[in-house]
Amino acid sequence: MRKAIAIAALSLALTQCGQVSTLVNGFKYANAVASTLEQELGAKPQVGFNWHNGRLLSVTVQFPELYQGKPLAELAGRVRAVVEKEFQQKPDNIILGFRIDG
């Protein structure tokens, strides 16, 4: 009985470590995306992510204002390249947004 409890506890701990490391790494990757885009574009976006079972489902990149320095298609391509490089995998979806006041 003790052996079964010990195995269950160890399994739970290892599962939680994987989730914690995914979360910590995800924040590192999100910060790296924001920093890289800020250096390249001059505007620092907020970056969020959604991971499920080790699979990157989506990354949201939201700029604080409408970005007019590049055409939208070119901006989207650059955001995609930075996200894939920093997260080290291709997400299912990238959501690109802009905050518009009032």
**Residue 13 belongs to a domain:** no
- The number of domains in the chain is 1
Q: What is the CATH number of the domain that holds 60?
A: 3.30.300.30
5 in a structural domain: no
How much is the pLDDT for 24? 79
Q: Tell me the pLDDT tens digit for each residue of 34-65.
A: 999 999 999 999 999 999 888 999 999 999 99
Q: Is residue 92, in this structure, part of any structural domain at all?
A: yes
Q: How many CB atoms lie within 10 A of CB 87?
A: 22
* pTM, to two decimals: 0.78
What is the pLDDT, as a whole number, of residue 2?
62
In 1-102 the beta strands, taken as DSSP E runs, fall at 46-52, 55-63, 93-98
Indicate the Cα dihedral angle 31, 33, 35, 41, nearest 10°.
-150
Examine residue 10 and state whether it is found in any structural domain, yes or no. Answer: no
Domain coverage including residue 39: 26-98
